[in-house]
Structure formats: C-alpha cells, structure tokens
Structure 1
Amino acid sequence: MNKTGFLKQAPHRQLEDLRTLYRSALRLSESDDLIEALFQIVADDLVSAISLKRVLVLYYDKKQGKLVCKACRGFNSHDVFPPLSFEKVNGLLKRVYSSHEILNVIQVDSSDSKGLSTSTECRILEQDYVGSEGQRRQAINICLVGKKATVKNFPSWAGLKEGSAFLLEEEDQTVKDLLGGRSSFLILPVIGNGNFLGYILADKKSSDIPVSYCEARLASALVTYASGLIARAIRQKEMIDKIEEQNRELKVIQEQLAESLEHSEYQKSFYESIIQNLRSGLVTMDQYMKISHINRSAEKILGYDKGELLGKSIRTILPEPEKVEDCVLREQVEALDMDCGLISEMTMRCKDGCELLVESCFSVIVDSMQDIKGLSCIFRDIKEKKLMEQHLARMERLASLGELTAGLAHEIKNPLAGIDGALQILSQSFSNGSPEKEVFKELFGQIKRLDQSVHHLLEFALPAKPNLLPLKLIDIINKTMLLVSTRIKDEMIETRVNLDSDHPTIQGDPHLLQQALLNILLNALDAMSPGGLLEIHTCWAHKADGCSRIKCISRLNRSIDKGVRVIVRDSGCGIDPKNIDSIFNPFFTTKNHGTGLGLSITHRIIEQHNGTIFVESELGNGTVFIVNLPAD
C-alpha cells in the first residue's frame, strides 16, 4: 500500500478509533469505580478493540513497593504472576518509568523472515512514526531488538527526536519472565494525574509481528482515559482509607478520652468524697476572697447551707478577715508557709451570730505555673478540746489542792475538837443566864461554824464515791425545792418551774445530786434581791425540740451534749465577765460569807456522774446554770 492509499484510509481508521474510545469510555464511566473493575475493563478493551492477544496489567502498590498483577488476558491458566519488587525493575520497564512514554519493542530478523522490513504492510517504521517532514508524530518510543537490528532498518531514523529510538541487543530478563520470551510487544505506562500507577504489557498473536503506530496510539488513548479514572478511584480509595483510618484513630482517641474522662470523674468523685467526709470543715476562696467551695462539715459547724456561702466574701464567716486577706497578695505571701500553711486558733462567725473558737490552717492554692489562685482553710471546732484541756488542768489543780486541803482540815479538826471539849467543861462552871454563859454560847456557835467549814473542806478534798441508782431528776428537784421553800417564801421570790415528765431515768446518787442542785439554788438566791425571779426547767436533748424553747441558753451550750438537762436561771446581778471562768474554782467567792467551795463541789459531783455543767451570765441580767446528765 502506497502513501496515498494509507492516507485515504486514515479517516475511516480515525472514525473506528473514536468509536472504540467512546465505547471504552462508556464502560469505564458506568463502573462502580472499584480499582480492580477498572483494570479489568481496560484489559478487556485492549483485547477486543485492538488486535492484541495478551494483556498484562501491573499495578504499582506504593505501600508495599511492589508491582501487583491486577488483570491478565490471553495467558495460560497456570501462569502465575507473583508480586514483583519495584526496586528490582530495570531495563525497558525502568526506561518507561523514567520517561512516562510508551515503548514499542520490535524484533528485527533477516529480510526474508516474518519480522520487520521496509515493505511491511503497515509500514510501521516509514510512515507510522515519521511525518511528512521526518519528525516524530507521537510520544511513542521505538526499541529495535535482535542481532540483525541496525540503523538501516529505519530509513528515517535520523529524522526522529534524539532518544526516541534505540537498539537493544541484550535480552531484558524481567520482561522475559513476564511475557515468556516474546520478541515484539508494547509497554504502556499507566499515568494518572502525573502519578505513576503501573504498567500494561501487550503483544499480538504472532510473537514477531510488531504493534503498529495507530494501534499503539489507540491503546495509549484507551489507557490514558482509563488512567484518569483509575487515579480518581485510587485517590477516592485513599481518601476513604484515610477517613476510615482517621475514624479509627478518632474512635481510639474517643475511647481514650472516655476512659480518661471516666478516670477523671472517678478521681473527682473520689477526692470530692474525701473532702465531703472530712470531719474538719473545708472552705476554699479565690484570689478575690470569694468562697468557692465548702464541704458538709463546714456547713454543719457553721450552720450554713452551701448555697448561702458560695460566692460570698470570707467576711461572712470571719470576724477579722483582713488578717487573712493580706496573705493572698504576692508581696504578703511570705506570711503563709507554702508547705504547712498558717496554723492558728481563731474565731469564726456562725449563721446565728455566735462566735466559735476553731483551730484553722490556711494554705495557698497555686496553679501549674505556681501562680496564686486563692486560699484554702481547714478548720475544726476545738470547743471540746479546750474543755478537755481545762478539765485536765482543773483536775491537776484540784488534786494538788485536795491533798493540801485534806491535811489542813485534819490539822484544824483535831485541835478544834479539843477546844470544843475544853469549853464545854468550862461552861459548866457558870449558871444559865449569866453573861459568861452567853459568851460560851457564842463561842460554841463559832466553833460549829468552823467545824462546818472544815467539813466542807473534807468533802471537797475527799469526795464520797457516788452510790449510783436509777432515779428521776424531777424527784431530786422537788425534794431540793422543799429545802429552800422557806427562804423563797421569806424573800418573796417568784418561781417558774417547768419539769418535763417525759424524760428517761438517769444513774445517780440522790444525796450527792441533791447537794449539787442545792448549791446551785442557794447561789441563785444569794445573787437575787427580794422579789426576784427563779426559773427551773428540765428537758431531754434527744427530743426533736430539745432545749430550743429555752431561749436563755446559747446555741453553743444548747447543743454541747445529749442527755437530760436541768436549767436554773435567776434574775440576779449576774457575774462579771472577768470572773466567769473562775466560779468553779475552789475558794473563789464574791460574797462576804462562805468558803467558796459550793460550786466547786457541785462541779465535782456532776463530773462524778459523767455529766457537764456550764454557766452563762450577763452582768445585771442574771445567770443561767446548765447541767447535763447522761440518760439511761
């Protein structure tokens, strides 16, 4: 076929090529974009649309660094194509990878063979690759293989672009392993979006019949279009894989966060439980001295609900907060020990206005940058501690004083008995009604008074052991009231007695308890002028209302103990505040008569019964004694 005939057939060939491309593009577009499906369609189209017998599609797996067979057509069923390491790729495949251009390998034999000659029907070398001006028309490179291959096989060789045609005398072992020693074949690079995706190797039925330029160009067009779809499918798969990987990572992070959150919630709950169950009160403040947290013990000690204190100034509970507020300032922080805090005794103001003595520890709250964020205050009510300390100190003093008093009483009692006996003998020498007899009578009265004082000293120094019996306090009170009823009547004292008959029995010595109560009543009568008011109440602290109805008792002493209580209130002159802490001390008295042992003995008797006694007084407004005895 001459050049003119070839040109006349070109439009018909171009039309067929376009139809082939259209059908292939249609099939590729209708696929589900699975990479394997696209490779299969490309292989099918290369076999059906072009006179190619065998097609091998190799996909470059970047993660594994290997060439993996994705499709093959025309090979035997027993042919196996294991993954090929891309690092071992060399020769023709490496050249195609570097150039990203098609390579048509042509076997050149003797002129009388079936191989290439200048009279080959398709005139592949003379017309397919060289235009009218002798320039290459398409980026399809030529490789001539065989011992007979020379430049003479291609008359227009000199007109081709340098490097687009070359001779290969040595056999390519990699291609031989794949195609089994085929002499003429086509290598097409699969390039999508500028990225190398793999190779397609193809040949014809006869091993030495080369692929024509038009066939190679059509194959290139099919592969080029398919490469874009494959690249898109790969990119989508990579995106899906990346999204799935990110989802897995997010799930792991979510699980870790959930676990961390659960752990944090557990720790928060754990520490909150510790804080809330502390027996000591805890209050935290921010840098503006606003209360930010308060535990249950603090609520109970101070009488507030949490909501009443949160966000309020620390002044709400501290009578003198300025001593503490200065400590939060940077220049004043040295006032607080960063390790131990500031430990001190102070007063706190309760909700009802009472001031409570507490032992407190103020500590600085800092963040991770060691910046001060506020203060924390741990405190505990030391009322009982102070009472115990006072009790122990009192017991030590009384023990020493008791030994001294006992010895002194005996030293006085014995000579006093001798004096009394001698005076009895002397008085018999005088008749009744004589002046001398009256003098002796006065002497005997003074001796009796002194003997009673010595008796009180011995009672104080050597107290009798109580004989405990189950009894009702009401009975003791009624009997004691009879003992002072005459004096109450004579001094026109108004009495208000409110005895709760519902309280339980107690274990007590009736004689000692009567003596203790009598001392309290006598002390009250001594403090009042004629026409005064004496109130006696009893209550059981276990009951819901307790002694709350006795308004003369402070909240402090109203809740100090649980048990049966006796409250004695007088309208007398009251006790000077400077003397209030001394009234239970032995020999302390503000009266012109008496030994000052009455209330001290009363205190001792109440302690022997495991009870407590307190006094509250306001100068000019009377005094209240509160006796608490444990119930059965």
Structure 2
Amino acid sequence: MESHEQLKQKINELEEEIRLYKRFVEHISFPFSYVDYELGKVIKKERNIPSATIETIEKEEKRTPILQWNIDLQKDYPFEQVEQFLAPIFDLVSHHIVFVDAEGKITLCNLQAANDVGVNRDDMIGKHIRELLNIPDEQIMTLKTLRTKQPLYNCEVLDRYYGIINTRILYNEDGSIKRVISMFQSLNQIKEAEKLAIAGRIAAGIAHEIRNPLTTVRGYLQFLKEQLPEHIVTLIDQLLIPELDRANDIITDFLNVAKPSEVKAEWIGINEFIRHDLDLLLQSEALLHNVELSYHLDEKLQQYVVNIDKNQLLQVFINLFRNAIEAKTEKSLRVDIETKLHNNLVQIYVHDNGPGIPSTIIHHVFDPFFSTKSAGTGLGLSLSRKIIELHKGSMRVQSEFGNGSCFIIELPAYSKNEAAI
C-alpha cells in the first residue's frame, strides 16, 4: 500500500497538471469545444473569456471524441505570422500583391511586384510604398485607400503602371487600420498581345500579297539577264535583286515577330552559355569593330540552370550587340554583359556606353517597325523580346540619353535538382 506521503505527492502532481491545463486553455485565444463521450464530458471555451466551462453529458464508450475550433486569423492569430504564411502562396500569383500598414509601410510584397518593378523583395519590407513604386503619393491608389478609408473596386490605373487595382482594408478591434491590401493586374502584356495580334493579321496579308509577286519578279529578272545588255545586268545584280532580297528578309523577320516559332529548349547553365557559345560569336565582331567586351558573371548561378533554345537566345544577343555597334559614336565602344541571381530569376544585363536612347522614344523601342536608323527595319528588338517571352521570360531597357543603354533579360531560374526531376 502507498504511504500517506506518496498519496499526497500524487495529489499535488495531479493538481499541478490541472493548473497547467487551465493555464494552457487560458492562453488559447480562439473558441473551441471538445466532446469526450467515453468520459461523458464537454469542455468549451469562448473568445475573449479566459476560462473554459466543463459540462456533463451521457457517456457513449464507442463514440469517437470530437474536437472543433473556430479560428479568426484577424482576431486570434498574430497577423505578422499570417503574412509569413501567405507570402510563399502569393509568390505564385501573376498579379502584384502588396500589404501596407497604417503608415503606408510595406509588410508583404509578392515576387511578381518586386520583379516587375526591378527591386529585391526583401529590401522593400518595412519601407514606404512610394519607395517601391517611385511615383508621387497622390498617384498611389493604396495610399488613397489609406487616406479615405474607402476600398477600390476594379479601378483603372493610368500612370506608368497601367492596369486594374483592387484594395481592401483590414481593421483592428479598436477600429484603426491594420492593413491595406492591394492587388494590381498589369494590362501591359494584354496591350502587347493586342499589338502582336494586329501585327499577325498584317503579316498574313503582307505574306500573301507581296512575297509571291516578289519571288516572281526575282525569277523573271534572273531569266532575262541573258538577253539584256551588260550595264542592265549589272543594275539587276547590284541593285534590283539585292533590294528584292532585302524586302523578302523584312517580311520574314516580321512573320517571326508575329507568329510564335517552335522552341527547342534544353537545360543549360547561363554562365557557361555566355562564356562558351556567346563569347565565341561576339569576340570576332568585337575585334572587327574595335569594341571592348567584358563579362561579370554571378558565381551563385553555378547551381542554377535555365531552359532555353540556344540558337534563339544567341540571336537575341547578336541583335543587341549589333544595335550597340550601329549606334556607336566617335568614342570607343564598351559592352559589358553581367549576370545575377535575383528573386528566383536569372537576370542578364547588356550595358553599353553608347549615346543612349532619348526618353521620348524609349517606350517604343520594342514596337515592330520602330527604328531611328535610316536603313533599319525596326524588327530586331521586337523579335528579340518575343524570343525571350517564348522562354517565359521578360526583356526591358533602361537608358539615359548620352550615357549608354542597358537591356535587361530575365529568365526563370531552376536549381539543378529541380531540373533533374
């Protein structure tokens, strides 16, 4: 038999366990109920009431216990932890999602927003939203919601971030604003898709109405050369046929812009591609035109690969390199190619120290047929960006007139383990 002291010790231990359970229940902020049919007891707890109540019910030994709870993420859970939980989910969304607090400081920013604006997402947390968007406060719709306490529904944004924005407000229990949530859907890609659709229809007409007659004319010129005087033959060989071929090349390039081509992609390391495949092509061009060529490659990319068609990507870099050469001024030309790993993307920067692009035309450089060169077709950059988009990437340009240009290519980065699956 147990001694009196042993029984007393067990009773004390049981009392301590009960106090522990009670304190644990007091710290649970959300309502719950637990029904134990074998014991014939129900424990219930309401929101904002520290203690729980215990009720007696009829025992049912074979019935499974039931636990139910009602968690309100705004009331029962630290919202900072909710944001940490939501962040990787929102990174999968193709729209911009940004949370700001009552002071307009960013508490959550998804990858799409950071990538499109060109910043590091982690650097933006805790900063004012104006530092993300770089536009005046009065143009920032999220701040408008913060000021007016009125959510926006499918509001059209007409500044440089063209699209549709929706905002919602989360309140604290005292009525103050906890968060303003904004979701922005960019319409730039839709606008570009509409342009390409129009270009496709035009290209189909051009191909049907012009290409066949050009081929016919070229064939007859070749046929007639044997019957014509020498000075006419010279004119045909040096002027007429080259001009017909140039017109045919323009049509071919335009069709490549308007119509998606097949991508024969393979997994490669971008640094290896630049060091071996690209450098082999560019060095001869650089030597021929007296261009200083340099590379700055992020070693962190050694553990990542991209899924690309080498030949198509080479065409993009050749177009960019030749554009830099054609814009060359009297000073010596320098072209720097740099790679970075940024927000699960491979970023490739192609810098040059040329004359740059005036701000009045920089937004049109990717438009089909837009060119500042007298002999240019205006299709090289448009075709280049289309190739990058076919690889699920993006391409943009930054330039300050008189201080060179920088074309930025972004492609999805995958770890070597991901690519092997």
In 1, are the aligned partners of 2:171 and 2:179 still within 8 Å (CA)? Answer: no
1:283 to 86, 90, 101: 101
Cα-Cα RMSD: 4.4
- CA 1:346–1:420 in structure 2 vs 1: closer, same or farther (change >3 Å)? closer
Q: 1:31-84 deviations in whole A, cap 9, x for unaligned?
A: xxxxxxxxxxxxxxxxxxxxxxxxxxxxxxxxxxxxxxxxxxxxxxxxxxxxxx
Match of 2:411 in 1: 629
| 1:534-613 correspondence to structure 2 within 5 Å | 534-539=335-340, 541=341, 559=342, 561-613=343-395
Match of 1:55 in 2: none
In 2, are the aligned partners of 1:359 and 1:379 still within 8 Å (CA)? Answer: no
In 2, are the aligned partners of 1:276 and 1:295 still within 8 Å (CA)? Answer: no
Query: Equivalents in 2 of 1:464, 1:261: separation in Å?
Result: 59
In 2, are the aligned partners of 1:406 and 1:462 still within 8 Å (CA)? Answer: no
Query: Equivalents in 2 of 1:538, 1:323: separation in Å?
Result: 34
In 2, are the aligned partners of 1:409 and 1:457 still within 8 Å (CA)? Answer: no
1:436 CA displacement: 2.4
Residue 232 of structure 2 is aligned to residue 436 of structure 1: yes
1:336 to 125, 135, 148: 148
Match of 1:400 in 2: 198
In 2, are the aligned partners of 1:616 and 1:625 still within 8 Å (CA)? Answer: yes
In 2, are the aligned partners of 1:341 and 1:364 still within 8 Å (CA)? Answer: no
Match of 1:454 in 2: 251
Match of 1:527 in 2: 327
1:621 CA displacement: 1.3
1:515 CA displacement: 1.5
Match of 2:180 in 1: 378
Larger radius of gyration: 1
- CA 1:315–1:489 in structure 2 vs 1: closer, same or farther (change >3 Å)? closer
Letter in 2 for 1:272: F
Letter in 2 for 1:527: A
- CA 1:375–1:527 in structure 2 vs 1: closer, same or farther (change >3 Å)? farther
Query: Equivalents in 2 of 1:587, 1:522: separation in Å?
Result: 17
Match of 1:496 in 2: 294
2:207 to 393, 404, 409: 409
- CA 1:393–1:320 in structure 2 vs 1: closer, same or farther (change >3 Å)? closer
For 1:619, what is the secondary structure of its paired residue?
A: coil
Percentage of matched positions with identical amino acids? 25
1:425 CA displacement: 2.0
In 2, are the aligned partners of 1:358 and 1:380 still within 8 Å (CA)? Answer: no
Query: Equivalents in 2 of 1:418, 1:616: separation in Å?
Result: 44
How many residues align? The count is 321
What's the TM-score once normalised by structure 1's chain length? 0.43
Query: Equivalents in 1 of 2:323, 2:155: separation in Å?
Result: 38
1:488 CA displacement: 2.6
Structure of greater relative contact order (alpha carbons < 8 Å, 6+ residues apart): 2
2:108 to 274, 289, 297: 297
1:513 CA displacement: 1.7
Letter in 2 for 1:458: L
For 2:357, what is the secondary structure of its paired residue?
A: coil
Letter in 1 for 2:322: L
Match of 2:79 in 1: 272
- CA 1:304–1:406 in structure 2 vs 1: closer, same or farther (change >3 Å)? closer
- CA 1:506–1:605 in structure 2 vs 1: closer, same or farther (change >3 Å)? same
Match of 2:217 in 1: 419
Query: Equivalents in 1 of 2:171, 2:135: separation in Å?
Result: 22
Letter in 2 for 1:406: A
- CA 1:450–1:624 in structure 2 vs 1: closer, same or farther (change >3 Å)? same
1:408 CA displacement: 0.8
Gaps of 5+ in 1: 1-254, 286-290, 348-354, 542-558
What's the TM-score once normalised by structure 2's chain length? 0.62
In 1, are the aligned partners of 2:172 and 2:178 still within 8 Å (CA)? Answer: no
1:357 CA displacement: 10
Query: Equivalents in 2 of 1:323, 1:402: separation in Å?
Result: 35
For 2:262, what is the secondary structure of its paired residue?
A: coil
For 2:101, what is the secondary structure of its paired residue?
A: strand
In 1, are the aligned partners of 2:167 and 2:182 still within 8 Å (CA)? Answer: no
- CA 1:375–1:356 in structure 2 vs 1: closer, same or farther (change >3 Å)? farther
Query: Equivalents in 2 of 1:316, 1:400: separation in Å?
Result: 37
Query: Equivalents in 1 of 2:290, 2:392: separation in Å?
Result: 35
Letter in 2 for 1:444: I
- CA 1:345–1:269 in structure 2 vs 1: closer, same or farther (change >3 Å)? farther
Gaps of 5+ in 2: 1-21, 30-46, 51-70, 88-97, 111-119
For 2:355, what is the secondary structure of its paired residue?
A: coil
- CA 1:336–1:584 in structure 2 vs 1: closer, same or farther (change >3 Å)? same
- CA 1:439–1:321 in structure 2 vs 1: closer, same or farther (change >3 Å)? closer
1:410 CA displacement: 3.2
Letter in 1 for 2:180: I
In 2, are the aligned partners of 1:276 and 1:297 still within 8 Å (CA)? Answer: yes
Query: Equivalents in 2 of 1:424, 1:363: separation in Å?
Result: 74
Q: 1:580-613 deviations in whole A, cap 9, x for unaligned?
A: 3322221122221222111111111111112222
Query: Equivalents in 1 of 2:304, 2:352: separation in Å?
Result: 26
1:426 CA displacement: 2.0
Letter in 2 for 1:583: V
1:568 CA displacement: 0.8
Query: Equivalents in 1 of 2:124, 2:165: separation in Å?
Result: 19
Q: 1:303-354 deviations in whole A, cap 9, x for unaligned?
A: 3665x88xxxx99999655799xx99xxxx9x8366x47986889xxxxxxx
Letter in 2 for 1:611: G
1:500 CA displacement: 5.1
- CA 1:363–1:492 in structure 2 vs 1: closer, same or farther (change >3 Å)? same
| 1:78-157 correspondence to structure 2 within 5 Å | none
Query: Equivalents in 2 of 1:486, 1:316: separation in Å?
Result: 43
Letter in 2 for 1:390: N
For 1:577, what is the secondary structure of its paired residue?
A: coil
For 1:396, what is the secondary structure of its paired residue?
A: helix
Match of 1:108 in 2: none
Query: Equivalents in 2 of 1:473, 1:260: separation in Å?
Result: 53
Query: Equivalents in 2 of 1:378, 1:603: separation in Å?
Result: 35
For 2:197, what is the secondary structure of its paired residue?
A: helix
- CA 1:259–1:474 in structure 2 vs 1: closer, same or farther (change >3 Å)? closer
Query: Equivalents in 2 of 1:492, 1:462: separation in Å?
Result: 36
| 1:188-227 correspondence to structure 2 within 5 Å | none
For 1:297, what is the secondary structure of its paired residue?
A: strand
1:397 CA displacement: 2.2
In 2, are the aligned partners of 1:533 and 1:571 still within 8 Å (CA)? Answer: yes
1:459 CA displacement: 2.2
Q: 1:247-302 deviations in whole A, cap 9, x for unaligned?
A: xxxxxxxx9xx9699644997542635764565413115xxxxx7xx674169968
1:533 CA displacement: 0.9
Match of 2:57 in 1: none
1:365 CA displacement: 7.3
